[in-house]
Structure 1
Amino acid sequence: MSRSERSPLLLAGLLATAGVAHFVSPRQFDALVPRSLPGSPRTWTQASGVAELALAAGLALPRTRRTAALAAAAFFVGVFPANVKMAVDWRHRPTPQKAAALGRLPLQVPLVLWARGVARNAEGRS
């Protein structure tokens, strides 16, 4: 299996793991939901978990890979405000936790680029 064939499956695995985590440990995700969003934080946590699982499934299937990869890129952009909220909320925590929260911010860029690269590779194979 070539690197370009592994890449979408690795991204799918990352999203699937994150999606499952939203249901296994929802409280940690509830705290990241911006207060400005309507409804219950748990609803947003569950919805984002479902979205991550759906994106993972879409990435795993060659027929839906391109669309799922583009949706994943948009998803990574869309959850950025939650990462900003985490960085702000954790600014007074111990240094390792603060560093983890701040480290999530620039991590969104390579995730978006990875998803776009998967979409680009999928275009050539359709």
Structure 2
Amino acid sequence: MPFSWSARTTQTISAAAMSALLLVSARKHFQQPKFFAPVVPDYLCREDYAGEDTELDVGQVRAKATAPRNGALAVMSREEWIAVSGLLEAAAAVGLLIPPTRKAAACGVTLMFTAFLAGHVDALRRAYSAAGTPSARRIHTLRLPLQVPLILWAWSLAGAKRAA
């Protein structure tokens, strides 16, 4: 008798695989945050100045440290963005493992991977700038297209293609 998997079993295994991938990535966010630093766009990052300018008084340094560098989107430091995205990945990984929350978690992962496209595009732009290196160009040229299958995989777990 041939073994056949139901669609539900296939989706459960796929969700567990994506969950494992997200957990490994979340762990890496905290163990090797510098790996993710290039894909956090500068326009999202607040620049912390505390301790750098000795000519300023304490109030000026504090005001400079809390002011967004590049506008309204620069609400966290690069390190904080990396930590928050690691926490979001860990939460999504758990959500994918729980059947009642799987669809919502998969939608969240789809949105998260889609949002990460901006960081990958920005990293690629910087890699091909005058300050970019051949190594950065290779890495980011390969890294950007990997987002597409991840987005499609997460979207499939959300049940977007199923009609019933």
- TM-score normalized by the length of structure 1: 0.85
Alpha-carbon distance between aligned partners in 2 of 1:3 and 1:100, rounded to the nearest angstrom? 32
Q: Work out whether 1:3 is the aligned partner of 2:10.
A: yes
Alignment match of 2:153 (pick from 103, 110, 114):
114
Alignment match of 1:19 (pick from 8, 16, 26):
26
Once the 2 structures are TM-superposed, how far is the Cα of residue 28 of structure 1 from its aligned partner? 2.4
Alpha-carbon distance between aligned partners in 2 of 1:16 and 1:57, rounded to the nearest angstrom? 9
Q: Work out whether 1:94 is the aligned partner of 2:134.
A: yes
Once the 2 structures are TM-superposed, how far is the Cα of residue 48 of structure 1 from its aligned partner? 0.4
Q: Mean alpha-carbon deviation: is it higher for 34-43 or for 46-55?
A: 34-43
- Deviation track 1:17-72 (CA, whole Å, cap 9, x = no partner) reads 11111100112222321111113100100000000001001001111101000000
Paired letter, 1:108: Q
Is this contact kept in 2: 1:58–1:68, CA < 8 A? yes
Is this contact kept in 2: 1:58–1:64, CA < 8 A? yes
- Deviation track 1:106-125 (CA, whole Å, cap 9, x = no partner) reads 2212111111111118x89x
Alpha-carbon distance between aligned partners in 2 of 1:99 and 1:60, rounded to the nearest angstrom? 34
- Deviation track 1:3-27 (CA, whole Å, cap 9, x = no partner) reads 3321011111111111111100112
Structure 2 residue ranges without an equivalent (≥5):
45-73
Q: Work out whether 1:64 is the aligned partner of 2:101.
A: yes
Q: 1:105 to 1:31 in 2, by over 3 A?
A: closer
- Deviation track 1:66-97 (CA, whole Å, cap 9, x = no partner) reads 100000000000111111122223334335x5
Q: Which has the higher contact order (CA 8 A, sep 6+)?
A: 1
Identity %, equivalent residues: 32
Which 4+ stretches in 1 moved above 3 angstroms?
none
- CA RMSD, Structure 1 to Structure 2 (Å): 2.2
Alpha-carbon distance between aligned partners in 1 of 2:40 and 2:127, rounded to the nearest angstrom? 14
Counterpart of 1:36 in structure 2 is: 43
- TM-score normalized by the length of structure 2: 0.67
Pick the structure with greater CA Rg: 2
Structure 1 residue ranges without an equivalent (≥5):
none
Count how many residue pairs are aligned between Structure 1 and Structure 2: 123
Question: Is the helix fraction higher in 1 or 2?
Answer: 1
